[in-house]
Amino acid sequence: MEELTRATWRVSSRSGGQGQCVEVALTSNIVGVRDTKNRDGGTLIVAPEIWTGFVTKIKHGELDH
């Protein structure tokens, strides 16, 4: 997706730098998520409001099982 080619990809500061994490690119219209070990392996695309809801659930422990 062309919009993501210009986006800044970020990795969590908590990832530890071991290369076993995902990276995220935020734009005004979409959020891209990909594996740092296989950046060409595909990108998950979601709407920003979906991403925000997902992150909120993680922060509140709603996805812990």
Q: What is the pLDDT of residues 27-44, one digit of tens each?
A: 999 999 999 989 899 999
The answer to whether position 64 is within a domain reads: no
Range of the domain at 25: 2-59
How many folded domains does the chain comprise? 1
What tokens were used for 38?
């296989």
The answer to whether position 32 is within a domain reads: yes
Q: What is the pLDDT of residues 45-61, one digit of tens each?
A: 999 999 999 999 999 99
* pTM as predicted: 0.81
Residue 7 has pLDDT above 70, yes or no: yes
Say what the pLDDT of residue 23 is. 94
The answer to whether position 65 is within a domain reads: no
Could you identify the residue written with the tokens 């076993």? 20
C-alpha dihedral over 9, 15, 19, 25, to 10 degrees? -10
What tokens were used for 35?
């594996």
